[in-house]
Each structure stands twice: as C-alpha cells, then as structure tokens.
Amino acid sequence: MELDGKRFQLLLSILLLIMSFTSSSASDGRQSYIIHMDKSAMPASFSTPHSWYTSALSSLSSSTDGVPPTHLYTYNHVMNGFSAVLSPAQLQQLEKNARAGFGDDMIIGIIDTGVWPESESFNDEGMPPVPARWRGACETGAEFNSSHCNKKLIGARSFSKAMKQSGLNISEIYDYDSPRDFMGHGTHTSSTAAGSLVPCADHFGYAKGMAIGMAPKARLAMYKVYFYNDSISACASDTLAGMDQAIGDGVDLMSLSLGFTETPFYENPIALGAFAAMEKGIFVACSAGNSGKIAMFNGAPWITTVGAGTVDRDFSGHITLGNGDLSITGRSIYPENQLVFRVPLYFGHGNRTKEICEYGSLDPEDVAGKYIFCDFDVETSYDRQLDEFRRSNASGAIISSDSGIFVFPSEFNLPLVIVKPEEGDLMKAYIINSKNPIVSVKFQTTVLGTKPAPQVAFFSSRGPGSVAPWVLKPDILAPGYEILAGWAPNKRATFIRDDALLTDYILESGTSMSSPHLVGIAALLKAAHREWSSAAIRSALMTTSDVFDNTKSILTDMATGQSGTPLDFGAGHVNPNKALNPGLVYDMEVQDYINFLCGMNYTMQQIKIISRRSDFNCENASLDLNYPSFIAILNDTSTTSYTFKRVLTNVVNSSSVYAAEVVMPTGMKVVVQPMTISFTEKYSRDGFNLTVEIDLGQKPRSYYNGKYGYLSWYEVNGTHVVRSPIICAFSTQQW
Ligand SMILES: *[C@@H]1O[C@H](CO)[C@@H](O)[C@H](O)[C@H]1NC(C)=O
Ligand SMILES: *[C@@H]1O[C@H](CO)[C@@H](O)[C@H](O)[C@H]1NC(C)=O
Ligand SMILES: *[C@@H]1O[C@H](CO)[C@@H](O)[C@H](O)[C@H]1NC(C)=O
Ligand SMILES: *[C@@H]1O[C@H](CO)[C@@H](O)[C@H](O)[C@H]1NC(C)=O
Ligand SMILES: *[C@@H]1O[C@H](CO)[C@@H](O)[C@H](O)[C@H]1NC(C)=O
Ligand SMILES: *[C@@H]1O[C@H](CO)[C@@H](O)[C@H](O)[C@H]1NC(C)=O
Ligand SMILES: *[C@@H]1O[C@H](CO)[C@@H](O)[C@H](O)[C@H]1NC(C)=O
Ligand SMILES: *[C@@H]1O[C@H](CO)[C@@H](O)[C@H](O)[C@H]1NC(C)=O
Ligand SMILES: *[C@@H]1O[C@H](CO)[C@@H](O)[C@H](O)[C@H]1NC(C)=O
Ligand SMILES: *[C@@H]1O[C@H](CO)[C@@H](O)[C@H](O)[C@H]1NC(C)=O
Ligand SMILES: *[C@@H]1O[C@H](CO)[C@@H](O)[C@H](O)[C@H]1NC(C)=O
C-alpha cells in the first residue's frame, strides 16, 4: 500500500475515463479525443492534473507507425480532463488501462494470519455485488461471523486443526480461534494487495496521506493458517488446507507472505498448493524471505518469487542547533509529536572526540533532562545505547551513524534521531565551540523523493534458489520497506516509556509486504488480459521491470551499498504501467513444468505427488524452462558453454518484428540465433536459441559468479522492449 509522493507511481490503478466525441481525423487513423478524468481519483503522486494526464499518455506505446500520442489541451474549468491525438490502438489501450485500472472483479486469496474486518481498508463503498461465481464463505468463530464480510472482504476462513493437534491452545490471550487477525500481519498484507481508498492514514504522524491498495476494486478472501505462538510457526497441513480451499472457492490470484524451510518440492506445502493453483490458471506470488544471503523461500518455478525493494521516502527528525546556527535532518520514526525546544545538549566528558554511550558510561547527574550526542559503535549496538539513555534519564538522543537505515520503526521507542557521520562531525564542532549547546527537534517529518530509490532491501533473500537453481530467483522486486498498511488496532504496535501504542495503520518492512504489492499488480494485469496464463503475467511483469533507480544507476543493494545483481533483484523492480503492455511474453504450460521436474530427476512417484496426474512421461525432460531469465550454473567444472531455448508469444493485436540486443561483461559471450524474430498476428510465436560462453582464460570460475548481462528484444519501428537478465552463478543446491 502506498501513499502520497512519487515513490511508487501506480498510475493505471486510478485512471478513470469516459470517452467522448471525436473530431479531426488524420490520414493514418489518428484522431483527436476528449478524455474525461475523475480528478478525485488522481494519485497524490502527481502534483497537478496535467502531470497525471501526460503520464497517462506517455504510458501508451507508439502506434504501429511509430507515432506517439500527442497531448493537445488540459482542461481545468469546463471539465476535468484533456484532449489528445491517438491512434485507434492507443485509444483502445487507454480504455483498457482504465478498465484494468481497478482489478475489477478479480478475487485475491491471501494466506496469512487472518484479517481485522473493521479496518477502513476493507470498506466496500461503491463495490459492485460479489461475483456470482464465488463459492467462498465467511466462517464464524471467536469475534467473527458472516456479517464481518462485505463486498470487499468476500471470504474469511481459518485452518487450525494441525496446530491444535500439535498442542497449541488458541485462547483469546494469544489469538482468536477464527479468521480474526491477532498479529496484524494479515491485515497489513491484504490491505496492501487490494485495500480500498482511505483518504487519511499514517504511522504516528509519519507517511501521512491517502492509503490505497494496489488493486483497489479487487475482492479479498482471507485464509488464516498462521496463529500466534512463540514455539510453533505455520503448520504445513493447515497451510495446504488453506490453499486447497482458496482454489475450491474460486480465487483468481493468491499471495503467501510466509515460507517453509526449503525441502524438495514434493514435500513443500506451498510448492504443492501453488502447482495445483497454476494448473487452474491461478496466479501465485510468494515472499522470497527475509534472511538476506542465508536462505531463500518459495523458489519453485511455478511461483512468482518476490524480493523487497525500498521506496523513495524517509522519515526524519529535524534538528536545529543553538539559535538556528545549524540545521540538520536525521532519520527518526519516534512516534510522538514531542516538542523539543532549546534543550541542553550533552556530548561526553573527556576529550570529546568520541562518545559511544556504552552501558553505564553516562552519569545521570550530568545528563538527566538533556539530549545526548553519541557516536554509534557496532559493539555497543543501538540496543545498549538506547538502554543507557533510558537508564541515565536523558531526555533524548542523537546518534551519529551511517547505519541508521537498518533501524526498524519499532526501535525508535525513545526520542532518537540518527544523523550521518558528516553531519555528526558538524554537530560536534558546534557543541565543542559553544558554552551552552542547545538543541530543538521536530519529529514526524516525512521526506519524499529520496535517492537512490528503489534499492534492494538489506534483508531481502537472495538467489539462486537452493532446490531448483536452474531458474533465476527471486523473479522480481516490489516495495517491501517501511510500507504503510492496515493493522490490528488492539495489537501493540510499539511503545514509548512504559506505554503500549496502538494504531490502525503501521509501517512494516519485509518481503511479506512485497508479495501482496506484486499480487495486486498481477490482478490489474489479469483484469486487462483475462486469457493470460500465470507464466504470461509473470513474464510481462519481469521483462518490463526497472533495473535503474531514480539516479539512473543499477539498483543498489542496501546491504552493501554497491550495485546489486539479478541474484538480488531478479529481473528488476516491478513497473505496473509497462507490464500492462509487454509486447511479447515467455509463456509456459503445465507440461513444461513436468518436463522440468523430470529434468530434476524426480521419480515418477514424486512427480505424481506434485502434479496429481499419472498420464505423463519424461521423454522431454529438461532443466531449461521457457523462463524470462537465464542462469548458467557454474558448478560443473567441465562446462564453459550453456545453451537455452526460448519461444516468445506476441500479445499485441498486430504483426511485429523484433531484433536482439545483447549487453554482456567481458569474458562472457552470448550468441543469439536468430537475431531477428517476427510475428504475424496476436498469439503467433517465434523461437530462438541463446548460448552463453565463458572464457576461463587466466580467470578462476569464481570470477564469473554473479557476472551478468542482458538480452533485450527491441521492436522494430515500435516501442516494446522485452528484456531478460543473463547471469552466471554457483548453485547452493541442497536437494
Ligand atoms: C455478528 O457479530 C456482531 C457483533 O460482533 C453482531 O452484532 C451480529 O449480530 C452478528 N451477526 C450474526 C449474523 O451472527
Ligand atoms: C505455544 O505452544 C506451546 C506448545 O503447545 C505452549 O507450551 C506455549 O504456551 C504456547 N505459547 C503461546 C504464546 O501460545
Ligand atoms: C490445552 O487445553 C487442554 C484442554 O483445555 C489442556 O488439557 C491442555 O493441557 C492444554 N495444553 C497446553 C499446552 O496448554
Ligand atoms: C580522545 O579520546 C579518544 C577515545 O577515547 C582517544 O582515542 C583519543 O586518543 C583521545 N585523544 C586525545 C587527544 O586525548
Ligand atoms: C530517573 O528519574 C526517575 C524519575 O524522575 C528517578 O526515579 C530515577 O531515580 C532516575 N534514575 C537515575 C539513574 O537517576
Ligand atoms: C539427472 O540424471 C542424469 C543421469 O544420471 C545426470 O546426468 C544429471 O546430472 C542429473 N540431473 C540432476 C539435476 O541431478
Ligand atoms: C516431446 O516433444 C516432442 C517434440 O516437440 C513432441 O512431439 C512430444 O509430444 C513431446 N512429448 C511429451 C510427452 O510432451
Ligand atoms: C485486432 O485487429 C483487427 C484488425 O485490425 C480487428 O478487426 C480486431 O477487432 C482486433 N481484435 C482485438 C481483440 O482487438
Ligand atoms: C535451436 O537449437 C536446436 C538444437 O540445438 C535446433 O534444433 C533449433 O533449430 C534451434 N532453433 C533456432 C530457432 O535456432
Ligand atoms: C521500419 O520502418 C522503415 C522506414 O519506414 C521501413 O523501411 C521498414 O520496412 C520498417 N520495418 C518494419 C519491420 O516494419
Ligand atoms: C556449487 O558450488 C558452490 C560454491 O563452490 C557450492 O557451495 C555448492 O555446494 C556447489 N553445489 C553443487 C550442487 O555442487
């Protein structure tokens, strides 16, 4: 769920239009049209209606003869809207974008911790009746009954048999024995995917603005499979039952912000449930996990595996020293509108070059009632510094550190601002040179347009997958860092002093937040292209994603501060507008996945468990899926040449020709055959082979681990670009 600011522009979800009369006709069929827009639906990311309209136009591809849409007028008084010259195809696309815009009548199943149905994000104002095909239910249980569902939240069920069997007693102290959300997590994920528009929401004064899900008109169904317990996590059989029911109820898409330790696919409940969903045409997105390089979850090739990216937003405390001698903006998410005006500022007692405020180092006599200035120290850690501030009765603290971005919102539980070391040095100079150093601080400031963004969130799990490294995972990034969305209002969000703080909306970070973003966007695509398979939707999302950030550099890995690679961000960061019109897709069928399982040397019995069919054979076993990315596994030390076969499908209603362009680092050579492919009509196909050759020369194999480039198919005389990463990597295969 995203708010104001230009962080994650989801133009197509809000665009609403009524076609009007046509006038002057050009020889090529282009005509001028007047487009009415619903200004109240303008995303807050646009500062003016004009910028919204021009952005809507620029998302349209050039017509077949290469002519882009032409903007004529923006109307502000006689109506809200604009006029433009469009080709018939562009007009059709604009209408389609609007239709897709809301994810109308798509049903998203969320497998999670339950839902808080009273959240404003689930209000069903203006929603049409529940689709007749829906077979789901709203189950009765602790503090939950059928009247808690509505036209937005159309289903809610709870699966706890296995949990109870394993000894968990669900009591109201710990959880609700019903679909009601105790932990807040499921309310957050579901409101992110398809929450209704909420005009005003914030996290204790931060990220204030309009809250809206990715697919605001899509329906939600909650399948609660995860109950609060310190010692037990989700049970495999409860999770599988939830997925099974979601398929039976008739969801169109599913998102799982949970994962099981990777095991072979025939033992992994999410892999099994997702295979059955894929066969039914249900799109499944899952979180990649939050363990950085340690482990990745949900790497099955029929799942869309989503890593977490940051957004271009930060939260800050604004510091003024002395009489305005110096102003500094640092990072803070302290949840209180505290007035800090000309408070004494304390910095050490010795030679005052460094003060790390380790536990027991501050004398309450010196610091009580003052703001403390300290240097961060890895060994002391924020935790122990904060404990010391509390112990010594300091009023607040400013820490000089370059690792403030790693401090989570809930850790700002006392008045704390973290400033960059360069600014820390300026503060030190001020303090040392003044007789009575004083500070004023303004909390609850939200900074938009931060750079670089997006970045790969430091915790986001990295590829390759450990079970099937022959497909590049994660597939894609979506926003998953400090995301504002709904929450269980009786659940402690954070605390200050000894007070628990409660909230309806909260900032949370994790790949748990990125999977529902992605599934909401997939719902918009599916609404626009109902005939597309899950593989086609994933392909559209991947081949149009962004690999450059808002400084035009390759996405940075927040964990290292260096450029990331496709092992960190997959194909790139999702770009919803471009995904709607990818030009070509890499499609797949159930048989392709079976061939892949055969290629993994799974036994007939194991493949039967996954595919639930016996009428298959392994004559076309292959580890080379028709995937929109390429990964060459370096482990077999004798191989220096890797060949991939691919087939592309035209999804545009016209003929087209595409030419290949390859960008690779030195030492990696890629040959594409043929270099030009062509399509006669919609759904026509053409294939190519791609060979990666690595030149070992003087270099060890490890030199190539993580080396990558791209294959891009450029539409000749058109605007579509279909891009795929090509990467070499060692596998960490365990199964
Ligand atoms: C459901 O519970 C609410 C109170 O939470 C109650 O007002 C309502 O009558 C109940 N509805 C049904 C159908 O039991
Ligand atoms: C979690 O389950 C274990 C085993 O049944 C139980 O001993 C423990 O009290 C439970 N904890 C909570 C918080 O429910
Ligand atoms: C769970 O509840 C049952 C019946 O109330 C009780 O017999 C059992 O000891 C409880 N188990 C735990 C782990 O608390
Ligand atoms: C000042 O203190 C720091 C840290 O305690 C120490 O490393 C440094 O040598 C001291 N400098 C002087 C000039 O005493
Ligand atoms: C901190 O302040 C509280 C209340 O003013 C007081 O009771 C406590 O003794 C103080 N702590 C220290 C370490 O001085
Ligand atoms: C599958 O078995 C074949 C034949 O033994 C072997 O060459 C191949 O490396 C195996 N593939 C995998 C993924 O283990
Ligand atoms: C294997 O591939 C061949 C050639 O494409 C095809 O004719 C055959 O039907 C395939 N077999 C299976 C089991 O899919
Ligand atoms: C595709 O284009 C043809 C001819 O231009 C047109 O007749 C047909 O309606 C179009 N189909 C779709 C689905 O847009
Ligand atoms: C790709 O390679 C296969 C086998 O190496 C060959 O049969 C096929 O014709 C090639 N396809 C193209 C499009 O070059
Ligand atoms: C692209 O445009 C050029 C110039 O108009 C034309 O000669 C060429 O045939 C076109 N190519 C395709 C594939 O449409
Ligand atoms: C591949 O190489 C990596 C790095 O050397 C190693 O950790 C991994 O176990 C190897 N995997 C296999 C399947 O040999």
Integer Cα distance of 637 and 219 in angstroms: 50
Atom of ligand 2 nearest to the CA of 231: 1
- pLDDT, tens digit, 9 for 90 and up, residues 351-391: 677 888 888 889 999 999 999 999 998 888 888 899 999 99
Catalytic residue list contains 512? yes
User: Cα(14)–Cα(453) distance, rounded to whole angstroms?
Assistant: 23
390 lines ligand 5 (CB under 6 A): no
Task: Tell me how far apart the alpha carbons of residues 190 and 485 are, in angstroms, rounded to a whole number.
Answer: 9
Helix pair angle (590-599, 269-279), 10° resolution: 140
Query: Does ligand 4 have an atom closer than 6 angstroms to the CB of 349?
Result: no
CA distances from 611 to 135, 254, 302, 600 (A): 24, 19, 12, 14
Q: pLDDT confidence of 21, banded at 50, 70, 90?
A: very low
Both tokens of 79, joined, read: 């109506």
- Among 39-53, 277-291, 455-469, 629-643, the least confident range: 39-53
What's the average model confidence in pLDDT over 408-425? 94
Cα of 167 from ligand 3 centre, angstroms: 7
Amino acid at 597: L
Q: Which of 148, 185, 188, 573 is catalytic?
A: 185
Nearest-atom number in ligand 2 for the CA of 166 is 5
Burial class (CB in 10 A: 0-12, 13-18, 19+), 72: exposed
CB 566 within 8 A of CB 725: yes
Closest of 17, 264, 223, 231 to residue 112, by C-alpha = 223
Centroid of ligand 3 to alpha carbon of 166 (angstroms): 11
User: What is the whole-number distance in angstroms between the Cα of residue 433 and the centre of ligand 4?
Assistant: 18
Residues 152-180, mean pLDDT to the nearest whole number:
88
C-alpha 625 to ligand 7 mean position (Å): 14
CA of 717 to the centre of ligand 10 (A): 6
Query: Has 587 been annotated as catalytic?
Result: no
% of the chain surpassing 70 pLDDT:
92
The reply to whether 112 belongs to the active site is: yes
Nearest ligand to the CA atom of 388: 5
Ligand 5 centre from 392 Cα, in Å?
A: 8
Give the separation between CA 475 and CA 541, rounded to whole angstroms. Answer: 9
Considering the candidates 190, 395, 460, 512, report the single residue annotated as catalytic: 512
CA 364 to ligand 5: nearest atom: 14
Ligand 6 proximity of 600 Cβ (cutoff 6 Å): yes
Ligand 11 centroid from CA 424, angstroms: 44
Q: Which residues contact 605 (CB under 8 A, 6 or more apart)?
A: none
What whole-number percentage of the chain has pLDDT above 90? 70
pLDDT at 138: 98
Can you tell me the mean pLDDT for 428-457?
94
pLDDT at 6 over 80: no
Model pTM greater than 0.85? yes
Give the position, in ligand 2's atom list, of the atom nearest the Cα of 170.
14
Task: Evaluate if residue 539 carries a pLDDT over 60.
Answer: yes
Q: Whose CA is nearest to atom 7 of ligand 1?
A: 147
Q: Does residue 20 have its Cβ closer than 6 Å to ligand 6?
A: no
pLDDT at 109 over 90: yes
Give the confidence band of 37 by pLDDT, cuts at 50, 70, 90.
confident
Kindly indicate the confidence band of residue 62, based on its pLDDT and cuts at 50, 70 and 90.
Answer: low
State if residue 705 touches ligand 11 by the CB under 6 angstroms criterion.
Answer: no
Residue 345, beta-bridge partner list = 371
Does residue 364 line the site of ligand 5, with CB under 6 A?
A: yes
pLDDT of res. 637: 84
Average pLDDT over residues 225-247: 85
Residues 104, 112, 252, 312: which is the catalytic one? 112
* Stretch among 96-105, 149-158, 231-240 having the lowest mean pLDDT: 96-105
Tell me how far apart the alpha carbons of residues 646 and 715 are, in angstroms, rounded to a whole number: 17
Q: Is the pLDDT at 323 greater than 70, yes or no?
A: yes
pLDDT of residue 1: 31
- Cβ atoms of residues 29 and 88 within 8 Å: yes
**Does the beta carbon of 140 sit less than 6 angstroms from any atom of ligand 1?**
no
Going by pLDDT thresholds of 50, 70 and 90, the confidence category of residue 44 is: low
pLDDT on residue 64: 54
Choosing from 165, 169, 172 the residue with most ligand 3 atoms within 8 A of its CB, the one to mutate for a pocket test is: 169
Q: Are strands 721-729 and 708-715 parallel, antiparallel or unpaired?
A: antiparallel
Ligand 3, atom nearest to 167 Cα: 13
Q: What is the C-alpha separation between 486 and 507, in angstroms, rounded?
A: 9
138, 117 contact by CB (below 8 A): no
Pocket test for ligand 6, best of 601, 622, 624, 625 (most atoms within 8 A of CB): 601
Task: Point out the ligand 6 atom lying closest to the alpha carbon of residue 600.
Answer: 13
**Atom of ligand 7 minimally distant from the CA of 618:** 13
Cβ neighbours for 378, distance < 8 A, ≥ 6 positions apart: none
639 lines ligand 6 (CB under 6 A): no
Q: Taking all residues of the chain, what is their mean pLDDT, rounded to a whole number?
A: 89
In this prediction, residue 22 carries a pLDDT of: 37
User: What is the C-alpha to C-alpha distance for residues 134 and 136, in angstroms, rounded to an integer?
Assistant: 6
For ligand 3, the distance from its centroid to the CA atom of residue 618, given in whole angstroms, is 49
Residues whose beta carbon lies within 6 Å of some atom of ligand 2: 167-168, 174, 229-232
- C-alpha 599 – ligand 6 centre gap (Å): 7
- pLDDT of amino acid 163: 84
pLDDT tens string 183-232 = 999 999 999 999 998 989 999 999 998 899 999 999 999 999 998 875 55
